[in-house]
């Protein structure tokens, strides 16, 4: 049952509730860094890493520190500061101990502090704990959800990078050149993801 | 530069010429997410404007106190404080708006319009122009959101502010793909009008981003504009 629900949470985060294409979180890097495949992958890996790390830290802080002390209203300010601190910490640690990884991921780290997908994931995960339904999120679910959200981001970025390389050589009406056509192709990619709706529930039924 | 412009120009530039959503490509996430109805669009616009005006005022007051190296964390903390206040006010006085905006209300804190104006304007200018700049940008943001909200609500649910106006409903307009599509067309329109008026057209979404100065990936993408005025320390947070 637990494994089943974990799989369902993971798949849902990638396909049906894709953070970029159906929740509109992290649109700036999605449009800005998706021009080339290698930068798209680098950015997504860095985002996934920070997402999981941030969720791993904010979940216990919210549940065991903020809620018991009636400080839940401080969620926004505490979370953004934790994320900012974590990003800085990751940057320092990578620079010191794994310089090769820092070379490839470090450039994306400053962007991540203000990436709404990270703050969004840490908050949305906790909203699912609050609901009084039969199925609530445990710590494991939260981490899997964050990881799935990161993988979903990667999938969307890679797909979109592919679409954009094809756009480069396409003949586009003058007014639509640049951003408008990028957004319209994003719309088509999002449309294809709509096809997954209901898919996860059928594949891994929770009840 | 700022002294040459009149206060009125500071106020109006955000509404048309430098509209944050349609010309500077800032705040794309809430623009796409909350514009499924015109009411939501106004709610989001007003909330963000309130935060923007307050944070611009405070950051402008503190501009000589905040050390340059830690300015971005300092700005984020100030903004987060105001977002929390706005969040509480909306929860207390407009719970329906709170429910429909959901996660995007606290996410105002990472809205690049607010950090962008703090970094590009409020940190360099006196209080009164900063407040007017914030107000103008906020109104521009609200207007663009309202535009999208009206288009998506009229076609998607056949209503306007909840009143029925169209007998048919094209559901796709209120689904995510419709959001991208309408936004793309609005930018195309804004580009066309801007080219006609002789203004420059933004081609890269990184251009207006407050992080473009510090962001090294922006250089890879060749989208960092000529930000040579000041070498900025790379630590962000």
- Check residue B48 and give its pLDDT: 93
CB-side neighbour CA atoms (13 Å) of B146: 12
Rounded Cα distance, B150 and A70, in Å: 39
Residues A175-186 have a mean pLDDT of 86
Is B80 in CB contact (< 8 Å) with chain A? yes
Whether residue A179 contacts residue A56, with contact meaning beta carbons closer than 8 Å, is answered with no
From CA A35, how far away is CA B206, in angstroms rounded?
Answer: 12
Residues of B in contact with A33 (CB under 8 A): 217, 221
A183/B178 touch (CB, cutoff 8 Å), yes or no: no
Which ipTM value was assigned to this complex? 0.84
Interval B94-148: pLDDT, tens: 898 888 888 888 888 888 888 888 888 888 889 999 999 999 999 999 999 999 9
Picking from A32, A42, A118, A182 by the largest number of B CB atoms within 10 A of its own CB, the best residue to mutate is A32
Which residue of chain B comes nearest to A114, CA vs CA?
B110
Alpha carbon distance B151, B31 (integer Å): 13
Q: pLDDT in tens for each of the 237 residues of chain B? A: 445 567 788 788 778 777 888 877 788 888 888 888 899 899 999 999 999 999 999 999 998 898 888 888 888 899 999 999 999 999 999 898 888 888 888 888 888 888 888 888 888 889 999 999 999 999 999 999 999 999 999 998 888 887 888 888 888 888 889 999 999 999 888 888 878 877 666 655 555 566 655 554 444 444 333 332 233 333 333
* Domain residue spans of chain B: 7-197
Angle of CA points A119, A120, A121, to nearest 5°: 95
Chain B, window 137-166: residues with a beta carbon less than 8 angstroms from a chain A beta carbon: none
The residue ranking higher by pLDDT, A33 or B43, is B43
Contact partners, residue B1, CB within 8 Å, separation at least 6: none
**How confident is the model at residue B235, as a pLDDT?**
36
CA dist., res. B80 & res. B48, Å (int) = 12
Query: Residue B218, exposed/middle/buried by CB under 10 A (0-12, 13-18, 19+)?
Result: buried
Residues of chain B in contact with residue A110, where contact means CB-CB under 8 angstroms, are: 211, 214-216, 234, 236-237
Question: Quick check: A23 and B234 CB within 8 A?
Answer: no
Q: Which residue of A has its CA nearest to B219?
A: A107
Average the pLDDT over A20-38 and give the result.
83
What the block records as the tokens of B178 is 């419709």
User: What are the Cα distances from residue B153, in Å, to A185, B164, B174, B185?
Assistant: 22, 10, 7, 16
- pLDDT at site B229: 29
Q: A113-133, pLDDT tens digit by residue?
A: 778 888 889 988 888 876 566
Residue B47 Cα distances to B40, B42, B87, B108, B119, angstroms: 11, 8, 8, 8, 20
Between A59 and B14, whose confidence is greater?
A: A59
Residue B2 and residue B124 in contact, taking contact as beta carbons nearer than 8 Å: yes
Tally the residues of chain A: 207
* Residue matched to tokens 């959800």: A145
Interface of B with A in 196-215 (CB under 8 A): 201-206, 209-211, 214-215
d(CA A117, CA A48): 10
Q: Which pLDDT score, from 0 to 100, does residue B213 have?
A: 57
User: B35 with B145: CB under 8 angstroms?
Assistant: yes
CB–CB of A118/A85 below 8 Å?
Answer: no
Q: What is the pLDDT of residue B234?
A: 36
Nearest-CA residue of chain B relative to A92?
A: B235
Using a CB–CB cutoff of 8 Å, tell me whether A89 touches chain B.
no
The C-alpha atoms of residue A127 and residue B110 are separated, in whole angstroms, by 19
Cα dist from B72 to A39, B27, B67, whole Å: 25, 18, 10
Question: Whole-angstrom Cα distance, residue A150 to residue B44?
Answer: 27
Residue A1 scores a pLDDT above 50: yes
Contact B184 A33 (CB under 8 A): no
Question: Count of residues for chain B?
Answer: 237
Work out the number of other CB atoms within 10 angstroms of the CB of residue B99. Answer: 10
pLDDT tens column, A66-93: 888 888 888 888 998 899 888 888 888 8
Cα distances (Å, whole numbers) of residue B73 to A84, A141, B227: 7, 30, 21
Span A188-206, average pLDDT:
77
Q: pTM of the predicted model, to two decimals?
A: 0.83
């Amino acid at each position: 049952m637990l494994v089943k629900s974990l799989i369902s949470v993971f798949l849902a985060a990638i396909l049906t509730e894709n953070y970029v294409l159906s929740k509109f979180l992290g649109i700036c890097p999605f449009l800005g860094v998706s021009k080339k495949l290698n930068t798209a992958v680098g950015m997504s890996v860095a985002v996934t890493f920070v997402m999981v790390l941030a969720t791993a830290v904010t979940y216990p802080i919210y549940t065991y520190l903020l809620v018991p002390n009636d400080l839940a209203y401080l969620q926004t300010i505490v979370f953004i500061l934790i994320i900012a601190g974590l990003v800085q910490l990751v940057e320092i640690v990578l620079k010191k101990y794994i310089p090769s990884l820092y070379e490839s991921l470090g450039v994306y780290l400053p962007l991540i502090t203000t990436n709404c997908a990270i703050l969004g994931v840490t908050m949305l995960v906790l909203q699912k704990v609050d609901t009084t339904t039969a199925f609530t999120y445990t710590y494991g679910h939260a981490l899997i959800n964050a990881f799935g959200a990161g993988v979903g981001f990667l999938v969307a970025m890679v797909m979109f990078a592919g679409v954009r390389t094809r756009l480069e050589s396409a003949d586009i009406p003058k007014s639509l050149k640049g951003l408008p056509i990028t957004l319209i192709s994003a719309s088509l990619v999002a449309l294809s993801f709509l096809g997954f709706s209901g898919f996860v529930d059928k594949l891994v039924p929770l009840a | 530069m700022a002294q040459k412009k009149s206060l009125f120009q500071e106020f109006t530039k955000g509404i048309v010429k430098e509209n944050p959503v349609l010309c500077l490509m800032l705040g794309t996430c809430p623009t796409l997410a909350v514009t499924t109805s015109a009411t939501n669009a106004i709610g989001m616009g007003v909330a963000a404007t309130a935060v923007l005006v307050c944070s611009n005022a405070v950051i402008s007051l503190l501009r000589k106190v905040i050390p340059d190296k830690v300015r971005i964390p300092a700005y984020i903390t100030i903004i987060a404080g105001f977002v929390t206040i706005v969040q509480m006010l909306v929860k207390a006085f407009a719970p329906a708006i709170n429910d429909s905006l959901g996660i995007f209300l606290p996410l105002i804190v990472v809205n690049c319009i607010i950090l962008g104006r703090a970094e590009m304007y409020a940190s360099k200018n006196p209080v009164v122009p900063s407040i007017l700049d914030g107000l103008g940008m906020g109104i521009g943001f609200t207007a663009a959101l309202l535009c999208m909200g009206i288009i998506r609500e009229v076609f998607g649910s056949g209503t306007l502010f909840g009143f029925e106006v169209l007998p048919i409903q094209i559901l796709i307009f209120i689904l995510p793909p419709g959001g991208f599509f309408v936004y793309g067309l609005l930018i195309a329109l804004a580009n066309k009008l801007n080219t006609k008026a002789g203004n420059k057209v933004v081609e890269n979404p990184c251009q207006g981003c407050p992080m473009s100065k510090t962001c090294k990936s922006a250089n890879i993408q060749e989208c960092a504009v000529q930000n040579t005025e000041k070498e900025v320390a790379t630590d962000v947070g």
